[in-house]
Structures are given as structure tokens and as C-alpha cells.
Chain A
């Protein structure tokens, strides 16, 4: 009996001894900074001034949040941005109808419903008579980030899915192709931007050279507002398609060969088999990949910072770059931290969704 107790004691001690190194760095370099960030966001905190005089910060409560996200005379109306809001309304109606008709799982119905409500509510805010946003750049920056996510995520997902389905064969050629498509994934963001910056250059770029050779006029990819975001998205797809493809390949391995053989008897091969068998069976993987990509691409920084410097006319300015600039160019750590907290909240929401989806799979 005594032996048991002492053994249990050692187990506890051993556990804490093993946990201690991680818990120490975790508390010091993640938990504490996280709360400290919130603390900074409640202050008027100039990077340089506080460095020279620690008392130079001033507690301002939630004013940084107001200054970043709110404005003077902000009003809300149902049809400020009709397109998105009507889309939201349609989504809301759909989620209710489909749920009542039992065409949608409860989780999906709730997700669609929340998304729709957000679509109705958020774009509805706008400055009223004589009013304006305190920070005119913040919401457009969030918008740009969403546009980037909205283009990059489907771009990566669809191309990765198609490629994965195509190279999912155990032959030497296919294995070489898998390696090839994955290879760019291991390059660093600065190498990727280095390559694509020069690829897109209207004078020195390969794309421009080829365009000119076939008699076209080169596009100013990175300085034309119509193309700058597209250019960044293209570079991103080229870069980050690998992970998605690998995840899809893993998902494809799980689909039983029998299903395809059975389908082949019904004359469903090729594209039809892809549509009727592959897609439905990959639903979970697709969801995981999409959420992952959203989280990943919401944090985009390097592509925008290095390829376009956020331009032209702020059209590729993204949230993380704005945080960086506000903090380190404008020295306003308080405001920057408020934006960082906003970023955390959004990413946190997606993490929770990811967690829930992951659990559904486990069940």
C-alpha cells in the first residue's frame, strides 16, 4: 500500500517535471504576451516614447477600438450594400427552409445562418450625414483580406482537388508529378515573392516577354489595381497548393476501391466518377482543407508586403500588414494591438469551427 502511494506521488512529480519546461515557455511567450497585448490595446502607447519613458503610456479604455473600428455618425441600414445584404437574407431564409425540410444538418444550418446574419449586419454600417469612419483604411483592409481569402481559398482548394484526383495513382510518373506540385510549398515566402515579382514585371518579366512575343501588350500586374490582387493570389496558389493536395490525397486513399468498381459497372468513370463518388466521399476533407486555408490565408503578410507594398491605392493592403505598419511605422502600438485582438477574434472563430468539424469526424 505504501509502495502504491509513493509510486503515485512519483507519477505526479514526474508529470510536473516533464510538463514544466513547456509550461514555462508557454506561459512566458504565449499566455503572458497574449494578455499583455490586450493590456497594450487599452493604452495610447507610442513604441518609441514608451521605450524612452515607460510612463509615457496613457490608459484610454476602449478608445483604440473605437478609433479603429468606429466613426462619427455611423448609421445602420438594411440596404447600404444591397448585394451582400440581400445575399445574406437569401442565405438566412435558405438555412431556415432547408433545416425545416431536414435537408441540412443542424450544424450546417447554424453555420449558414450565422454567416448570413453577419452578411446582413456588418455591411449595413456606413457613415451618415457628415459622418465618417475614424480610420478609413481599417474596414477596406479587412475587406481586402477577405477578398484575398475569398480568391485564394477556392483557387487553392479547387486546383489542389483536381490535381490530387489526377495524380492519385501509384506510378512513377505520378509520383514525380506529386513531388513537383508539392515542391514549391517548401520555398520561403521571400523566395516566392522574389520569383513572382520578377515574373510579373511588365519589362523584365517572363509573362510580359511571352505576351510581347505573341504580339500582346504586357499587363502591369503589380501596379494595376485590377490585377494586383490577382497577381498575389496566383503567386499564393502556386506556393501553397501542396498542403491541400497532400490532404486530399490522404482523403482519397480512404475511399474504398470497391466504390469505383461498382460505379464503373454503371458506366460511371472519369469525370462522372469524380462527381458522384469522389466528391461526396471527400466532403469532410474538403471542409477541413477550406477551414485550414481560411485560417492560413487570413494571416497573409509577406506576399502583400514584398510584392506590392499594399498598393496600388491600398488595394492589396491586408490586415497583418496594417498591424505591422501601425505598430512599427506609425509607432502606435495601442491601435495595432487593438487590430491584433480583432484578428485573434476572427481566427478564433474559425479555430472553433475547425475544432467542431474535427470532432464531428471523430464521432
Chain B
């Protein structure tokens, strides 16, 4: 069946190629080469998005889509290089946090006037989603999701440690309580309490940011003053380092390793995003994977106010795109917008009210377990230097947990550097 579909897709591609408007599409999420065109059964971010793209390529008359490289590592460097070289992709994905940088330079097309004609109903977007793609009063993209940090829980370990109540995990409400839970887990199972990528991507940064926001603090103010070396910053960092010091978590795992540790049943909790919910559910169902009883929880509130790091993926088109190409690109955006429910299968939260209200969405696996996340989603204030700031934080936090740099010194250095970036 798969082969038939593929051959169909291939012939469709060849048949339409001669007359088709070719749209280049830039995205990350990783590669999925045999995604097919069935948007309803694909699994995992890479394959779901690629199946939507393949379907758009097959179903949209007169449009063929050429997907550009899909790796994360150099994505924004490459997109920038492409814009600067005058050859940006006709459609590309980006994060909400990059809008100030790209729209600020006039790189992105303002499309508020063209949405309706393209068949995109902006009023169906939730207010937060509309806000995510807006900049200086204009609309610069089509939102695709909200994604946020969650706590992925191994219920068998929690059960063994006596941390399950009414079928839900008991999560800490303070840093001290977290230590107690961690000790219980270690005592009962010998496993780590918490795993996360502290050594590679900025997942540890997002953890610390959430803990700072939970204390009603932030890393810089709206008027551009860095406020990192503060009581709140110190509390947030120490809430995590106490786990390392006591041997309840391992700071040296990178993204793949921390994920592997969780799937192998070596950690009770994995802090990671919404994007892996469907992947982990699928893994948990497999015989050979140690994780059996998988649960998803909202990021717990360890301080006063609920908060977890969140961002949005959105699709944009370059300002330079005109005429038939622009129309075609908008059609692709509309197609992606129409398949919001398929994308939500990854575990991401939908941006469309009609999807959120739908039966299909609500019955997605584990969906009811993290309904509180939308309300506590947060991010740093907008800045054109978001990427560089994340880098600074990632470096200094890694210095704390990987190289024992004193907390105060690291936070002070981070504050200086972020201030430099804000002042530039």
C-alpha cells in the first residue's frame, strides 16, 4: 500500500512538474524521507510535517513543493544566509521569537490583507496565536502551534516511590519537596528523579527561565536591562543544582542521551517539549522499550506563579515574493493551516479554536493530562538578539553544572553579556 502511494505521489510529481509553480520550502524538524502523503497516520514531527507537505504537493493544483534541508543545527544561519544572498525559500517555518529580528529588517511579508483570499480564517486563531505572529500591528505569518516544556513521567518509577495518587503523578510544589521526591525515587528504585538535556540544546535554560518566571522575575526587563544575577536567578539555578549535587540527576546527558535514559527507565521524569508526546507514547507501547507506563504532566509550580517556557512555530513568506509565486506560497500556508489537527498529533497545542474544541483533538493520547500548560505558557520579552541571548545563558548554565563554575560568577557573567547584547 505504501509503495502504491509513493508511486502515485511520484507520478503526480512528474505529471505536474512541467506546468507547476515551484515553491521552495524551508523547515527544520529533521528529515523524513519516506513520509508519504497520508497526513493522518504519520508519526513524529519530521514525518507529520513532511506528509502534510507531500500532501500539499500532491493535492494543490499547479504547485510543486521542493523541501530544503531540514536539519536544526544551522537552520537560522542558513535562512539568514539565504535572505542575505537574495534566495530565501518561498515558504519557511520559524519560531515566534525570531519575528522581531526578521520582520524588523523587512525580510518577512506582511500578509494580513491576503489571508482571507487565501482561505485562512485568522479569527479562528486563538488570541495568543494571533499575538505570536503579529509585529508592530501587522501579521507576518501563519501560526502552527504552541509548544512548551512538559514533564514526561515514568509512572512505574513514580508508583514504586509512592508518588502516584488517583492515577496521576504527585509532583512537587517547592524545590525542597522536589528533593524529597527525588530521594524517595532513589531510595525505592535507585533511578534518577529527573533527566533533561543540560549539555547541548538550551532545554536546561528553559527550565531555569520557567523557575525564574515562577518567582515573577525575568532575565531582562522590557526597557532592556539585564536582571539575571538576582535572588530569583540564584533560586532557580539552585533548585536544579541541588539535584545534581545529591546525585538525583545527571547534568552530562545531551538531548539524545537524556531521551534514551528516560525510555530505558532510568529516570522518573524527563523535562522536554510537547513535540515528543506521540513519539514517547508509541515507544512506551513497544515491548522492548523499558518505559511502559507513560504520563504527561504540566510543568509543576515550584514557586509562586505557574509558568513554563513556550514558543510557537509559524510559517512565513519573504517580503520579496510577488505575483503568482506569492499566491502559490499563500496556498501552501493555507494548506498547512487546514491540517493543524494533524500537526497537533505530535503533542503540540493547536492554535485554532475550532481544532481545540474538536473531539478529535481532545481525544489525542495524553492530551487531557497537560491541559493546564496553555495557561502558564511564557517566554522572554521580544528581542532581535534572542538567539545570542539563549546561547549566553546556555553557556553560563552549562558552566555551572558541567564545570562547577560558582553560581554567582556565572550569573554575573551572563548578566554582563546579555546586557552587552541588549545594548548593541
Contacts and interface: CB of A to CB of B under 8 A. Distances in A.
> A and B touching (C-beta < 8 Å)?
yes
A281 interface: no
A223 B420 CA distance: 27
B26 to A, nearest CB: 15
Given A313-B398, A328-B80, A52 B403 contact: no
B84 A47 contact: yes
Nearest to A330: B388
A313 B200 contact: no
Contacts of B396: 313
B105 A52 contact: yes
Given A203-B257, A329-B76, A329-B387, A48 B413 contact: no
Contacts of B83: 48, 51
Given A47-B84, A224-B402, A329-B76, A132 B416 contact: yes
A48 B80 CA distance: 7
Interface string B380-394: 000001011000000
A7 interface: no
Contact of B398 (A136, A220, A311, A330): A311
B151 to A, nearest CB: 22
B55 interface: no
Contact of A51 (B86, B260, B387, B402): B86
B4 to A, nearest CB: 35
Please indicate which of the listed interface residues A52, A312, A314, A328 has the most CB atoms of chain B within 10 Å of its own CB.
Answer: A312
B254 interface: yes
B165 to A, nearest CB: 33
A358 B398 CA distance: 45
A201 interface: yes
Nearest to B78: A328
Contacts of A26: none
A309 interface: yes
B295 to A, nearest CB: 24
Interface string B106-122: 11000000000000000
Contact of A309 (B84, B200, B260, B385): B200
Interface string B84-98: 111000000000000
A208 to B, nearest CB: 11
Contacts of A309: 73, 200
A136 B417 contact: yes
A28 interface: no
Contact of A52 (B106, B256, B387, B399): B106
A201 B261 CA distance: 13
B223 interface: no
Chain B interface category by residue count: 35 or more
A354 interface: no
A311 B253 CA distance: 13
B186 interface: no
Query: Interface residues of A: mostly helix, strand, loop or mixed?
Result: loop
Contacts of A48: 80, 83-84, 101-102, 105, 107
Contact of B77 (A51, A202, A224, A329): A329
B199 interface: yes
Interface string A302-343: 000000010111110000000011001111000000000000
A225 to B, nearest CB: 5
A32 interface: no
Nearest to B410: A313
B81 interface: yes
A166 interface: no
Contacts of B76: 329
Interface in B43-86: 73, 76-77, 80-81, 83-86
A282 B306 CA distance: 70
Interface in A214-245: 220, 222-225
B252 interface: yes
B126 to A, nearest CB: 30
A324 B81 CA distance: 11
B259 to A, nearest CB: 10
B395 interface: yes
A349 to B, nearest CB: 30
A52 B107 contact: yes
A72 B210 CA distance: 34
Contact of B199 (A312, A324, A328): A312
Interface in B365-409: 385, 387-388, 395-396, 398-399, 402-403, 405
Contact of A328 (B77, B105, B405): B77
Given A52-B106, A202-B257, A224-B252, 20 more contacts: A47-B80, A48-B84, A52-B107, A132-B416, A134-B420, A136-B413, A136-B417, A201-B257, A203-B256, A203-B257, A220-B253, A223-B253, A225-B403, A309-B73, A312-B199, A313-B395, A313-B405, A329-B387, A330-B385, A330-B388
5 contacts: A51-B84, A51-B85, A203-B261, A313-B395, A331-B80
Instruction: Give the 9 A-B CB pairs with smallest separation, nearest first.
Output: A51-B84, A223-B199, A313-B399, A220-B252, A328-B77, A312-B402, A225-B403, A223-B252, A313-B398
